[in-house]
Chains A and B, each alone.
Chain A
Amino acid sequence: MAQAYTPGLKVTNRLSHRMRRVLPIAGEVKASVGDRVQARDVVAETFMPGDITPVNLSNTLSLPPADVLECMLISEGERVEIGQSLARTKGIFGLFKSEYKSKAAGTVESISNVTGQLIIRGKPLPVQVRAFLAGEVVEVIPNEGVVIEAEVSYVQGIFGIGGETYGSVRMACQQHTDELKADLIKPDMEDCVIVGGARMTGDAVRRAIEVGAAAVISGGMDDQDLRDILGYDLGVAITGSEQIGITLVITEGFGEIAMAKRTFELFSSREAADAAVNGATQIRAGVMRPEIVIPLSEEEKAREVEPEHTAGLLEVGAAVRIIRDPYFGQIGKVAGLPAELTVLNSESMARILEVECESGERVAVPRANVEMIEV
């Protein structure tokens, strides 16, 4: 059983990436196959049916519901304006007629003779989908959206907060092990995607919001800081709709943890390039990770393609990171793979492996508590 947990996070310098950008409901697609689109371009648009205003005519006009239809001055599908008379009762011998004047503008959706209810639907609400990935439209899904393809540098984080945002990459830390502190955030980082090293401090995030940065990416952060920033304790790991004025992505985990060296170097090499960041995360069946997409320019595309990194087999010499206390975040090499079950300190029986840490220390951890990394 030579398996280790792989979060399956993609970090690659060059990738031909395809993205489906579709509307939640059917609508109009604004791009066609072959178009080159920029990240902020609207590729599809639709109008959500507007708000519904129900009017109980049978009550307002004191009519049995079945008689409502006879009194209607308008019919289903017609547009109505505020103040327009919608229904008038027959009255007694043509006298004492009462009327209902519309209090909402919209289209008459239905008139029910069971409930005596009239439903007016208000003005449609626009829903737009932007390209997010700057590239070429390779497919149009009729009435739904498009598929965009581009050569990009692509990084998946492990956890994020906040929605889609765009900006140019700015390195704030020198080393992948440097903490991202507030004094490293400069006022000229407005609208930038700030890349830090290890943990981002709560102050740094607040400072970044102050200067108007688009996103902050770093290795880790404290849950306590996350709670302070959000204003509540995050329970269910479904994010993306937070409105905190910035998008945050952590690439490794919570607490003091450095960004993987390769990820950090990738960002360094793409400094000043335009990036698109989405913090939306869903840790559930159908997992969704936050992602950072940096399209390649023409000259960069000419460079050689980096070989595909795949998580190798868990074997002696493989690079691993320990992902659970007490050695959380430590990186090392597999030094031994004893086959038999071993009793842990917690008295649980588990298959373990021995890791030789960078510090030279040799520790034994359950196999479930390491993940393969690429060096």
Chain B
Amino acid sequence: MTKLNPDNINVILATDCGSTTTKAILIEKVDGHYRQTFRGEAPTTVEEPAADVTIGVVNAVTEVGELAGRRLVDDDGHIIRPTSNGDGCDIYISTSSAGGGLQMMVAGVVREMTAASAKRAALGAGAIVMDVIASNDRRLPHQQIQRIRELRPDMILVSGGTDGGNATKVVEIAELIAPAKPQPRFGSEYRMPLIYAGNKDAAPLVEKVFDDSVELSVVPNLRPVLERENLGPARDAIHDLFLEHVMAHAPGYNKLIEWTDAPIMPTPGAVGNILQTIAERQGINAVGVDIGGATTDVFSVFNGTFNRTVSANLGMSYSISNVCAEAAMPNILRWVHIDMDERELRNRVKNKMIRPTTIPQTLDALVFEQAIAREALRLAYKQHKEFATTLKGVQQQRTVGDTFSQELGGQTIVDNMQLDLLVGSGGVLSHAPRMQQTAAMLIDAFQPEGITMLAKDSIFMMPHLGVLSQVHPQAALEVFERDCLVYLGTCIAPKGAGKSGKPCLSYQISGGSLNESGELAFGDLKLFPLAPEETASVTLEPSRGFDVGAGAGKPLTADVKGGTVGLILDGRGRPLAPPTNAAECREAVTSWIGELDLYP
């Protein structure tokens, strides 16, 4: 991998090898700005018969090349670098989630403390966490051993104990893992990579426990004291081992590793990277979601703290049946404004699960599928909130004033009021026939409070930009702002609850094509068109007990951006609770649908 001067980079090629498709995009410098210009895709070729990931990459890149009128692949099937005579590209980067991505098992002493930190490190690095072993997970040692043996993780992360703290328990966990002899997923010829990131005093003891069957790397403790998390070294170790051990054994990857100019990253890790970069550069809090067929990933950056969760069984095809089981039918049907037969719906859900590629043909089917998506997103976000917390096990500082308001440690850091940008991606969100539908699904599921910008990543370009941000942050940022996101608009939602029909907010909007003022009644939705390039200045005066970000009942003036949908004033209250009575609920949902013009 050669280091290039960023100023000399004009053409960037990026691929993302997903489990079904490999997507390639081309980024070029146009008039001094980096822009995403062409994209192409081809089926991923990790599995038999091709069993070489580079074939899919070359196919996708060739398609981009044809569209761009630029030769990117030479006759030997190599990517041409650097550019010469209008052919080839300056750098090539890639991410990968093929073969199910990076699957890890993590272990720690206390489930809510070091084990949670270990899970955070693994998820943040882009892994899927298959299980968390902890001394208080209420399983007996033999059950834990059994579980470790059944799982076939690509990698194991062991933590536990603060520095100078508990060594006994850490060694005990190591003693559990060692006899279980975990089997790696890709064949048995390579040794299981195991990262130890626990009590540094216990490191020599842990090393003694493991024999040659594992590839042990010791990194600094990820919880040196309970008050502080140090996830960086463990994350880096995961990335390194992912390349050295896991990827190197997947078909064709050793070739791909040689081709790329930056280390290949697991796709979700790259998405986390770009979101973090954006949040940091713009000083905002952001949440991103990618809803897939089997899993839903939620990423969040609040006050500089990045968190990621994977809800393994919430998705729109393989996992659709599980969404229905977890959310329960009545919760899904509350979003539906037309009559549907529950027995029939249950069969439809199961049929979608066993034949995941079908698409909704009728309006009913679309309405129902989007209702399920709302619940899947809601549940995934709930899981995310439960996971993204402040650290547990930290001493609290009190004064006598806290007598009646003693707060627990480990509270969620996800605060919808402070959320500035909400980005959605994944089939059901990015391919919804109307933009309003995407916006409505995001609002209903995530329930943003105050002023929140909504966007979608229509072609899921975030992974590419995530890797790019490590090589060329400026290019990544420029493309992210100009081409990656489709801005849907801004949602303004006062937090609080009131009586239906009573005013909850008076507003004044000026700027762009808008010059409106009026009152918003509780339970109502209002949509004002505001084009993507336009901004408007809004003055909001919430009624008593309602909050738009300045405090309950306090007025707020802000500039808001438009989008393909526009400006949405959501007076349905937070937390959003559609009426429990079925008939009232349907009436309310019908009026919301009417206001947003969701369905024909």
Binding site for B on A (CB under 8 A): 5, 7, 25, 51-52, 54, 65, 109-110, 112, 114-115, 117, 119, 158-159, 222-224, 226-227, 232-237, 253-255, 283-285, 323-326, 328, 344-350, 365-366, 368-369, 371
Task: Determine if B398 is an interface residue (Cβ-Cβ < 8 Å).
Answer: no
Given A222-B347, A344-B361, A350-B359, A115 contacting B313 (CB threshold 8 A): no
Contact with A along B346-358 (1 / 0, CB 8 A): 1111111111111
B370, closest chain A residue (CB): A346
Residues of B315-374 contacting chain A, CB below 8 A: 318-319, 321-322, 324-326, 343-344, 346-366
What's the minimum C-beta distance from A50 to chain B, rounded to whole angstroms?
Answer: 8
The 8 Å CB contact of B433, one of A227, A254, A348, A365, is: A348
Contacts A117-B172, A284-B318 supplied; 10 other A-B pairs, CB < 8 Å: A5-B358, A52-B145, A159-B350, A234-B325, A235-B326, A255-B348, A324-B348, A325-B348, A328-B351, A365-B361
Cβ distance B286 to chain A, nearest Cβ, rounded Å: 29
Quote the shortest CB–CB distance from B142 to chain A (angstroms): 4
Contact between A255 and B347 (Cβ–Cβ < 8 Å)?
yes
Q: Give the CA-CA distance A211 to B160 in the complex, in Å.
A: 55
| Chain A positions within 8 Å of B321 at CB level | 234-237
Are B171 and A114 interface neighbours, CB within 8 A? yes
Measured between beta carbons, the chain A residues less than 8 angstroms from B366 are 346-348
- Interface majority SS on B: helix, strand, loop or mixed? helix
- The reply to whether B351 and A348 form a contact with Cβ atoms under 8 Å apart is no
Closest-by-CB residue of A relative to B433 is: A347
Q: Does B141 contact A (CB under 8 A)?
A: yes
Q: Give A324 to B366 CA distance when docked, in angstroms.
A: 12
Contact of A368 with B357 at beta-carbon distance under 8 Å, contacts A222-B343, A326-B362, A328-B351 already known: yes
Say whether A346 contacts B294, CB under 8 Å: no
Q: Give the distance to chain B from A69, nearest Cβ to Cβ, in Å.
A: 15
Contact B142 A233 (CB under 8 A): no
A236 touches B319 (CB 8 A): yes
Cα separation A345 to B359 with both chains bound (whole Å): 12
User: Residue B255 at the A interface, CB < 8 A?
Assistant: no
Q: Is B213 an interface residue (CB 8 A)?
A: no
22 A-B contacts, Cβ less than 8 Å apart?
Answer: A5-B355, A110-B175, A114-B171, A223-B349, A235-B321, A235-B322, A235-B326, A236-B322, A253-B347, A255-B344, A285-B99, A285-B100, A323-B355, A324-B352, A324-B355, A324-B360, A325-B344, A345-B361, A346-B366, A347-B433, A366-B358, A366-B361
CA gap between A348 and B361 in the complex, in Å = 8
Are A115 and B172 interface neighbours, CB within 8 A? yes
Inter-chain contact B322/A347, CB cutoff 8 Å: no
The 4 closest A-B pairs by CB, nearest first: A235-B322, A347-B433, A346-B366, A255-B347
Question: Which residue on chain B has the smallest CB distance to residue A52?
Answer: B142
Most A CB contacts (10 A, CB to CB) among B322, B353, B358 go to B358
A114 close to B356 (CB less than 8 A): no
Q: From A122, which residue of chain B is reached at the shortest CB distance?
A: B142
B469 at the interface (CB under 8 A from A): no
> Which B residues lie within 8 Å of A325 (CB)?
344, 348, 361-362, 364-365
| Total interface residues in chain B, CB < 8 Å | 51
- State whether A237 touches B433 (Cβ < 8 A): no
How far apart are A220's CB and chain B's nearest CB, in angstroms? 8
A324 cross-chain contacts in B, Cβ below 8 A: 348, 351-352, 355, 358-361, 365
Residues of B within 8 A of A323 (CB): 351, 355, 358
Given A222-B347, A253-B354, A324-B351, does the pair A369, B318 have CB atoms closer than 8 Å? no
Query: What are the residues of chain A within 8 A of B145 when measuring CB–CB?
Result: 52
Q: Separation in Å of the B114 CB from the closest CB of chain A?
A: 17
Query: Complex: how many Å from CA A54 to CA B294?
Result: 39
Query: Given A117-B172, A325-B348, A345-B363, are A237 and B205 neighbors across the interface (CB < 8 Å)?
Result: no
Would you call A346 and B175 a contact (CB within 8 A)? no
Whether B354 and A346, one on each chain, are in contact in the complex, defined by CB atoms closer than 8 angstroms, is no
Residues of B within 8 A of A232 (CB): 325
Asked whether, in the complex, the Cβ of A348 is within 8 Å of the Cβ of B171, the reply is no
Interchain CA distance A115-B173 in the complex, whole Å: 11
Residue of A nearest to B431 (CB): A348
Judged by a CB distance under 8 angstroms, whether B167 is at the interface is: yes
B294 close to A284 (CB less than 8 A)? yes
Evaluate contact between B354 and A283: CB separation under 8 angstroms: yes
Binary contact track B43-64/A, C-beta < 8 Å → 1, others 0: 0000000000000000000000
B600 within 8 A of A: yes
What is the bound-complex CA distance between A54 and B360, given in angstroms? Answer: 56
In angstroms, Cα B76 to Cα A225, docked, is 58
In the bound assembly, the distance between CA atoms of A54 and B176 in angstroms comes to 11
Contact indicator A159/B354 (Cβ below 8 Å): yes
**How far apart sit A223 and B357, CA to CA, in the bound complex (Å)?**
20
**Smallest beta-carbon distance B140→chain A, Å:** 8
Q: A237-B353, A324-B351 are in contact. Are A369 and B358 (CB under 8 A)?
A: yes
In the complex, what residues of B have CB within 8 A of residue A344's CB?
360-362
Complex contact A253–B343 (CB within 8 A): no
- Measured between alpha carbons, how far is A223 from B325 in the docked complex, in Å? 12
Please state if A114 and B168 are interface contacts (CB–CB under 8 Å).
yes
A236 to B311, alpha carbons, bound, how many Å? 13
Q: Which residues of A contact B171 (CB under 8 A)?
A: 112, 114-115
A327 CB to nearest chain B CB (Å): 8
Is the CB–CB distance between B344 and A345 below 8 Å? Answer: no
| Residues from chain A with Cβ under 8 Å of B361 in the complex | 324-326, 344-346, 365-366, 369
A54 smallest CB distance to B (angstroms): 6
Q: CA separation between A342 and B325, bound complex, in Å? A: 34
What residues on A are CB-neighbors of B149 within 8 Å? 25
Query: Smallest Cβ distance from A368 to chain B, in angstroms?
Result: 5
Of A51, A115, A234, A255, the residue contacting B351 (CB under 8 A) is A255
Is B539's beta carbon under 8 Å from chain A? no
Q: How far is the CB of B184 from chain A (nearest CB, A)?
A: 15
B19 within 8 Å of A (CB atoms): yes
> Quick check: B318 and A237 within 8 Å, CB to CB?
yes
Separation of A365 and B325 alpha carbons in the complex (Å): 29
What 1/0 mask marks residues of chain B from 135 to 167 whose CB sits below 8 Å from any chain A CB? 000001110010001000000000000000001
**Are the CB atoms of A368 and B325 closer together than 8 Å?**
no
Are B175 and A112 in contact, with the CB atoms below 8 A?
Answer: yes
**B360 and A348 contacting across the interface, CB-CB below 8 Å:** yes
* A114 in contact with B205 (CB, 8 Å): yes
- A29 to B179: give the CA distance in the assembly, Å: 23
Q: Which residues of B contact A235 (CB under 8 A)?
A: 313, 319, 321-322, 324-326
- CB A348 to nearest CB in B, in angstroms, measures 5
CA–CA, A95 and B19, complex, Å: 69
Does B434 sit at the interface, judged by CB under 8 A?
yes
- For residue A282, which residue of chain B has the nearest CB? B318
Are A158 and B354 touching (Cβ within 8 A)? yes
Nearest Cβ in chain A — how far from B5, in angstroms?
41
Point out the residues of chain B lying under 8 angstroms from A65, CB to CB: 168
Complex contacts, B431 vs chain A, CB 8 Å: 348
Residues of B within 8 A of A348 (CB): 359-360, 366, 431, 433
The answer to whether B347 touches A7, judged by C-beta atoms less than 8 angstroms apart, is: no
Contacting A254 at CB < 8 Å: which of B313, B350, B360? B350
A222: chain B residues at CB < 8 Å are 343, 346-347
Q: Which residues of A contact B167 (CB under 8 A)?
A: 114
> Whose C-beta in chain B lies nearest to the C-beta of A51?
B142
Q: Of the candidates B355, B359, B363, which one forms a contact with A253 in the assembled complex, judged by CB atoms under 8 Å apart?
A: B355
Report the separation of the CA atoms of residues A260 and B321 in the bound assembly, to the nearest whole angstrom: 25
Known A283-B356, A348-B431; contact A233-B325, beta-carbon cutoff 8 A: yes
The distance in angstroms between the C-alpha atoms of A349 and B352, with both chains bound, is: 19
The answer, among A158, A253, A347, for a CB contact under 8 Å with B434, is: A347
Nearest CB of A to B137, in Å:
15
Distance between B63 CB and nearest chain A CB, rounded to angstroms: 14
Point out the residues of chain A lying under 8 angstroms from B343, CB to CB.
Answer: 222-224
Q: How far is the CB of A254 from chain B (nearest CB, A)?
A: 4
Q: Could you say which of A51, A254, A366 contacts B359, with CB atoms under 8 Å apart?
A: A366
- Report the bound CA distance from A326 to B368 in whole Å: 13
Cβ-defined partner of A236 (8 Å) among B313, B359, B362, B434: B313
Contact of A346 among B140, B350, B358, B365 (CB under 8 A): B365
Q: B residues within 8 A CB of A237?
A: 318, 321, 353-354
